[in-house]
Amino acid sequence: MAIRFGVSPIAWINDDMPELGGDTPLSKVLSDARDIGFEGIELGGVFPRDPMKLKPLLDSYRLTLVGGWCSGNLLVRTAKEEIAAIQPHLALLKAMGSNVFVYAETSNAIHGDKSKPVATTPRLDKASWIRFGEHMSTLADYIRDQGMRFAYHHHLGTVVERPEDMRAFIENTRPSVGLTLDTGHAALGGLNPVETIRQYPERIAHVHCKDVRGKVYERLIDGDGSFLEGVLAGMFTVPGDGDLDYAAVMSALADINYSGWIVVEAEQDPAKADPRKYGELGLRTLRLRASEAGLKLAA
């Protein structure tokens, strides 16, 4: 059992809202991640997509490419069409030595649209879940055969958001479909992250740790706000600065013998929440709680 700590560049440069940190040099992101003490970093929008450029760049900062979000369209494509569409992303991850493929359905997602209240998240009926699950399982089988773990990212504003969505997701997919457990999206979507880990241990393929400010989210819902408005209002933060019990989260991961990446990720306005400062807090919190829980760091 061994874990490694990584970070998402979204705290420095928000790909969904370029006005948040869009002028930040990539060198600043990478040097901060290295100096904070992270071993790896996830793919960001400003990263080079040529592995001949990206690998020496990350090597120079002693960082590993953890993986990176892949926007999916399985509700409007066949599995065969989706497999063809993901080839450039897959080739990059394989060339970089990444072992996890993070994927989320975005064809009907609303999290990137400021005009859509988060309460209007799309839902799937039973027949749609059956079709979606079969296509996703075929895609995940393919990713497994490529030597990587498929890790579906549940997310506010998407079809896997609430407890009932998670149940349908698990019931309609094969074991090859792993889960990116995101503590922040779980908590605000009504999923208890600790219970989710304990209930679906064999599915936990990757972990994103963000903290939440529940009262901010409640005001967002009451005011029919959008996901991006919630980000701007500060509904997310790093572990140790919000409402979640990370001692319990790390204990749950230890209990299932979790092995893999734990990524600090918190969409915030970098002008208000200095990414270096908050990244240090997030990593310090997780290291402490992981050590208390008996989780071992990879050599």
Token code pair at residue 108: 């009907």
pLDDT tens for 103-114 read 999 999 999 999
Q: What pLDDT does 85 receive?
A: 98
* Per-residue confidence band for 299, with pLDDT thresholds at 50, 70 and 90: low
Helix (H) or strand (E) holding 207: strand 204-209
Q: What pLDDT does 205 receive?
A: 98
pLDDT over 70 percentage in the chain: 99
Coil, strand or helix at 166: helix
Interatomic CA distance for residues 83 and 140, integer angstroms:
10
* Per-residue confidence band for 160, with pLDDT thresholds at 50, 70 and 90: very high
pLDDT tens for 247-277 read 999 999 999 999 999 999 999 999 999 999 9
C-beta separation of 274 from 219 below 8 A:
no
Q: What pLDDT does 67 receive?
A: 94
C-beta separation of 185 from 236 below 8 A:
no
Q: What pLDDT does 1 receive?
A: 54
Residue 19 has pLDDT above 60, yes or no: yes
pTM over 0.95: yes
C-beta separation of 201 from 256 below 8 A:
yes
CB atoms within 10 A of CB 291: 12
Amino acid of residue 223:
G
Interatomic CA distance for residues 194 and 55, integer angstroms:
35
C-beta separation of 263 from 208 below 8 A:
yes
CATH number of 3-293: 3.20.20.150
Phi, psi of 39 (to 5 degrees): -90, -25
